[in-house]
Amino acid sequence: MDMQTTRQRILIEAEKQFIALGIANAQMKDIASAVNINRRTLYRYFPTKDELAFEIEILVMKQIQDYLMLDIGDTTGKTGFEKVKAYFFQVDLDKVREQIKFTAEFDRYFQDNYPNPELEQSFIEALNPDRDPLFHYIREGVTDGSIRNDLTVEELYHFISHSFISLFQRLILREKHLKHEYCDNIDFGKSFRDIVLSGIKRT
């Protein structure tokens, strides 16, 4: 059996199980069984569940990044702020809700050390803001004067992106309860968008 094909099949199945069950509850033996290999073969590709989960997180981040390469239409003559605004009117994180749910599980599970330096470096590279159009729109806005410049592009981008993901992690995990906790009439997506846009616009 081709090694690359086997590795890909393991990653695909593991992603399904980690998203459905969480990292702590997913079992390597069940992943191996679903891929029709024995555990010894699975451990040859991924010596620990932590290493497998970490590679899945890198894949999930790539899936989220691919979705966020949004088409915001014709940008001719638009300012950076107008591009950020168009971006937020397009984004719908419900389309990557399972991936975001996994990132919440990953953040909880890997609070301390990462499995090894190589995976840590791969993860850091996957977070490069240059891959996110939002980062470029913000930079354009600071440059053209449509976005406030008392904060750096990096400060603005990281605050917005981390806040956005964190908010939707919580909303997805708590969606069954929030409607009973005085939040049933709040459109969090719209509120977040409006607060961010009003907060970054240069006046």
**Which of the four pLDDT bands, split at 50, 70 and 90, describes residue 3?**
low
Query: Quick one: 9 and 87 in the same domain?
Result: no
Return the pLDDT at 4. 66
Nearest CA to 21 out of 9, 36, 31 is that of 31
Return the pLDDT at 2. 52
Query: Quick one: 77 and 126 in the same domain?
Result: yes
Q: Is the pLDDT of residue 98 over 90?
A: no
Report in angstroms the alpha-carbon separations of 99 from 23, 160, 175.
13, 19, 16
What's 177's domain CATH number?
1.10.357
- What are the tens digits of pLDDT across the range 159-177? 999 999 999 999 888 888 8
Query: Quick one: 42 and 61 in the same domain?
Result: no
The Cα 51–Cα 54 span in angstroms is: 5
Query: Quick one: 135 and 81 in the same domain?
Result: yes
Query: Quick one: 33 and 104 in the same domain?
Result: no
**Which of the four pLDDT bands, split at 50, 70 and 90, describes residue 90?**
very high
- Averaged confidence pLDDT in the chain: 91
Is 139 within 8 Å of 80 (Cβ atoms)? yes
| Domain region containing 43 | 1-47
Nearest CA to 20 out of 9, 31, 7 is that of 31
Query: Quick one: 73 and 145 in the same domain?
Result: yes
The Cα 25–Cα 35 span in angstroms is: 18
Q: What is the average per-residue pLDDT within 184-199?
A: 93
- Total domains in the chain come to 2
**Which of the four pLDDT bands, split at 50, 70 and 90, describes residue 1?**
very low
Is 55 within 8 Å of 118 (Cβ atoms)? no
Query: Quick one: 78 and 156 in the same domain?
Result: yes
Query: Quick one: 118 and 185 in the same domain?
Result: yes
Flag whether the pTM goes above 0.75: yes
Return the pLDDT at 48. 94
Is 51 within 8 Å of 94 (Cβ atoms)? no
Query: Quick one: 36 and 54 in the same domain?
Result: no
What's 31's domain CATH number?
1.10.10.60
**Which of the four pLDDT bands, split at 50, 70 and 90, describes residue 112?**
confident
Query: Quick one: 8 and 22 in the same domain?
Result: yes
